[in-house]
Amino acid sequence: MNFIGNSRLNVFLWQLMKTVSIIGTGNVASHLATSLFSKGVHIHRVFGRQKKSGEELAKLCNSHFVSDWNAFDTVGVDVVLIAVNDDQIENVSAHLKIGQAIIAHTSGTVDMNVLERHSKTGVFYPLQTFSKENEIDVSVVPFCIEGSTTIVETELTDLAKALSHDVRLVNSETRKLIHLAAVFACNFTNHMWAISNQILEETNQDLTILKPLITETITKAFNSSPKEAQTGPASRNDQRVMKKQLESLQGNTLFQSIYSDVSESIKKMKNE
């Protein structure tokens, strides 16, 4: 029987018949392992250095925890997911026995070719920030997939589709740009709020006063585009307000520099 081209059936088969092992016991590893397990995927092994969290995670997905590379066999395993810190991926790859399993990492910034000593390699990158505290709806998380061959890409795509409606084939170069965009859209956005919070600490207000405004800003940006939705002193080139606000930031040259550069960039983009 040939199931190629029958994507939904392949995804279903993944859930029933396929086997995944996970390397890592952190937030990404935990969310992926438990989500895959909840979809019926068999989690063969959980590997990690942290015995306590590793054993807890293995228990959650009816798996076995190992912390010794000799005990980490990949025979009969379809995919090994490496969900460790970026700078440890190559090191983990070097420890893995050469075999038939697809070896895929879950990083936004690391080239697929750091895994190239293995024959079937890939990337399985969930574009989301995972934390212990918050439940994530994995079904809407975009998965960026890359594979060393078309067959590997199909296998990893089917695995991702078992979890999410949003699965995209993305090469390493594009994935790095997406990650860079995410740094601006999330890490830097979050820091803008951190700066706001620090400014508000000088008053008797806190960040909750800005929540309706932040929510509406998102709505407007996604209803049209952020460029069209831009408002504020820089957007209307209000020199008086910008000068006064820079003065208010006296004593914090980094905040002043951010204020100036972002204002300049808003004005420049408006005129483009």
Cα 96 to Cα 101: distance, rounded to the nearest angstrom: 10
Smaller CB separation from a second copy, 68 or 137: 137
Query: Strands (DSSP E) along 52-137, which ranges?
Result: 64-66, 79-82, 102-105, 121-126
Buried b (16+ CB within 10 A) or exposed e, 179-193: beebeeeeeeeeeee
Q: How far is the CB of 161 from a second copy (least distance, A)?
A: 16
Q: How far is the CB of 97 from a second copy (least distance, A)?
A: 27
Smaller CB separation from a second copy, 59 or 268: 268
Q: How far is the CB of 136 from a second copy (least distance, A)?
A: 7
Report CA-CA distances (Å) from 47 to 20, 23, 26, 70, 128. Answer: 12, 5, 11, 11, 22
Smaller CB separation from a second copy, 97 or 264: 264
Residue 261: count other Cβ atoms within 10 Å of its Cβ. Answer: 10
Give the bridge partners for 105, in sequence order: 82, 123
**Strands 143-147, 121-126: pairing kind:** antiparallel
Q: How far is the CB of 92 from a second copy (least distance, A)?
A: 17
Smaller CB separation from a second copy, 94 or 194: 194
Smaller CB separation from a second copy, 2 or 204: 204
Q: How far is the CB of 174 from a second copy (least distance, A)?
A: 4
